[in-house]
């Protein structure tokens, strides 16, 4: 009886402490919008899903339908040599990122929906290749989620590097929430970690677990849409779409289970319950969550001094409500929320450029640079 009592007490303590960062989240404010404006870097891109900077004047931008652009001083040129893109639902050409040693090796990475083997349909894949001028060569498939499906939802997918020789990327649950996110033998609902050449790191958390996918770094995710490195701590921060309510920001840790769909702060789109649980032992609480959902996408920290008093703050694009959300974080909690560029459009991506400014990929508008008046 004593052991059972202690076990019950531990569960109660876990549930209380794990929700602490979400206690009394602040209401979002809408500051004077005349303080903010944008400059158009490049237009004519319908869904600018991903971007990365070659220099202050050169940007790589993906368009979801399957085109990669190299933007030179406001002029865009199509990059040839991409894999065949499976553009379905939320899938297509997704993120793009330069190798940490791009200046010397010209390697870039792409995530995309593809159909290259197996049953009809597709899944998310990670590629690398050498960018020579406006052509991609030596294209190499590093990873592809198995179990193709014709479902159009929840492909992920962002790319980040830890600058310790690893690349991280996500694959959403692909619309199979009851199986994929919690099954380590199946792709989907996971964050993956590979060496930069595509090999499996020997210290990945599940390399010695029989049947488990060796590339998995964390699991229990729904649909990762934003991912970035916290420049102050080196931690990987990720955001993901919840169902109706329950969008999350997570700090990704090795081997951890982030709970979907066993625990969630959201409900089905129909209004019915998914689960009555918002916490469970052995499952991580989100650092932050939104109710109602904002449909978060790209995410970036501001690490420069170009914006007054914004250094160290987090910025998240809202697809649903068409604004850029500014989050001020103190002592491990969100203490302030603001709508920046209210009603700017569906903010698909947010990236800090080498000049210290924030750049937004806005659907129907292209790439915009955020400036203060």
> In terms of C-beta distances under 8 Å and separation of at least 24 residues, what long-range contacts does 309-312 make, across chains too?
312/232
Rounded mean pLDDT of 72-98?
A: 96
Query: Has residue 42 been placed in a domain?
Result: yes
Q: Which domain holds residue 263?
A: 30-372
Residues 6 or more apart from 24 whose CB is under 8 A from it? none
Task: Identify the pLDDT of residue 373.
Answer: 87
- The string of pLDDT tens digits covering residues 214-270 is 999 999 999 999 999 999 999 999 999 999 999 999 999 999 999 999 999 999 999
- Angle, alpha carbons 109-110-112 (nearest 5°): 160
Query: Has residue 19 been placed in a domain?
Result: no
Residue 21 predicted with pLDDT over 70? no
Percent of the chain predicted with pLDDT > 70:
94
- The count of domains in the chain is 1
Q: Give the integer Cα–Cα distance in Å for 71 and 77.
A: 6
Task: Identify the pLDDT of residue 233.
Answer: 95
Q: Give the integer Cα–Cα distance in Å for 36 and 20.
A: 33
Residue 174 predicted with pLDDT over 90? yes
Residue 10 predicted with pLDDT over 70? no
> Closest Cα to residue 303, out of 312, 295, 293?
312
Query: Has residue 15 been placed in a domain?
Result: no
Per mean pLDDT, which range of 2-6, 60-64, 190-194, 367-371 is the poorest? 2-6
Task: Identify the pLDDT of residue 8.
Answer: 42
Query: Has residue 152 been placed in a domain?
Result: yes
* Residue bearing the bigger pLDDT, 140 or 20: 140
Q: How confident is the model at residue 18 (pLDDT cuts 50, 70, 90)?
A: very low
Residue 75 predicted with pLDDT over 90? yes
pTM for the model? 0.93
Rounded mean pLDDT of 25-41?
A: 94
Q: Give the integer Cα–Cα distance in Å for 96 and 126.
A: 10
DSSP state of 356: S
Whole-number average pLDDT of the chain: 93
Residue 6 predicted with pLDDT over 70? no
Distances 189 to 67, 180, 364 between C-alpha atoms, Å:
26, 6, 29
Beta carbons of 302 and 312 less than 8 angstroms apart: yes
Task: Identify the pLDDT of residue 23.
Answer: 56
Residue 17 predicted with pLDDT over 90? no
Phi first, then psi: give them for residue 263, nearest 5 degrees.
-125, 145
Rounded mean pLDDT of 33-60?
A: 96
Phi first, then psi: give them for residue 317, nearest 5 degrees.
-80, 140
Q: Give the integer Cα–Cα distance in Å for 155 and 70.
A: 24
Query: Has residue 14 been placed in a domain?
Result: no
Query: Has residue 258 been placed in a domain?
Result: yes
Residue 285 predicted with pLDDT over 70? yes
Query: Has residue 278 been placed in a domain?
Result: yes
* Residue bearing the bigger pLDDT, 188 or 17: 188
Rounded mean pLDDT of 56-80?
A: 96
Q: What is the CATH number of the domain that holds 214?
A: 2.120.10.30
Per mean pLDDT, which range of 4-18, 104-118, 252-266 is the poorest? 4-18
Residue 117 predicted with pLDDT over 80? no
- Angle, alpha carbons 332-353-241 (nearest 5°): 50
Task: Identify the pLDDT of residue 25.
Answer: 78
N-to-C CA span, the chain: 66
Query: Has residue 8 been placed in a domain?
Result: no
- The string of pLDDT tens digits covering residues 300-329 is 999 999 998 999 999 999 999 999 999 999
Q: How confident is the model at residue 24 (pLDDT cuts 50, 70, 90)?
A: low
Which residues belong to the active site? Answer: 154
Beta carbons of 348 and 362 less than 8 angstroms apart: yes
Beta carbons of 225 and 232 less than 8 angstroms apart: no
């Amino acid at each position: 009886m004593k052991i059972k009592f202690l076990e019950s007490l531990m569960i109660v303590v876990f549930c209380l402490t794990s929700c602490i960062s979400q206690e009394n989240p602040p209401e979002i404010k809408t500051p004077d919008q005349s303080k903010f404006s944008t400059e158009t870097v490049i237009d004519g891109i319908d869904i600018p899903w991903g971007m990365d900077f070659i220099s202050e004047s050169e940007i790589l931008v993906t368009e979801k339908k399957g085109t990669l652009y190299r933007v030179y001083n406001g002029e865009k040129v199509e990059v040839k040599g991409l894999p065949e893109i499976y553009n379905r639902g939320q899938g297509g050409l997704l993120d793009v990122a330069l190798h940490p040693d791009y200046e010397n090796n010209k390697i870039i990475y792409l995530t995309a929906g593809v159909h290259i083997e197996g049953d009809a349909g597709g899944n998310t894949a990670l590629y690398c290749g050498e960018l020579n001028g406006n052509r991609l060569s030596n294209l190499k498939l590093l990873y592809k989620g198995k179990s193709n499906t014709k479902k159009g939802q929840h492909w992920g997918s962002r790319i980040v590097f830890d600058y310790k020789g690893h690349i991280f990327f996500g694959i959403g649950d692909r619309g199979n929430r009851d199986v994929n996110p919690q099954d380590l033998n199946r792709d989907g609902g996971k964050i993956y970690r590979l060496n930069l050449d595509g090999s499996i790191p020997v210290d990945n958390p599940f390399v010695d677990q029989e049947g488990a996918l060796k590339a998995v770094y964390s699991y229990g995710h729904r649909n990762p849409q934003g991912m970035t490195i916290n420049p102050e701590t080196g931690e990987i921060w990720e955001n993901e779409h919840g169902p109706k309510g329950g969008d999350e920001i997570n700090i990704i840790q090795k081997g951890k289970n982030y709970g979907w769909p066993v625990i969630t702060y959201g409900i089905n789109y129909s209004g019915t319950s998914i689960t009555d649980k918002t916490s469970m032992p052995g499952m991580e609480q989100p650092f932050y969550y939104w109710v109602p959902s904002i449909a978060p996408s790209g995410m970036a920290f501001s690490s420069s001094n170009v914006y007054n008093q914004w250094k160290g703050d987090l910025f998240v694009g809202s697809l649903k409500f068409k604004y850029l959300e500014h989050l001020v974080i103190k002592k491990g909690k969100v203490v302030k929320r603001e709508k920046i560029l209210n009603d700017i459009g569906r903010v698909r991506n947010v990236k800090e450029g080498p000049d210290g400014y924030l750049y937004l990929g806005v659907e129907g508008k292209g790439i915009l640079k955020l400036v203060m008046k």
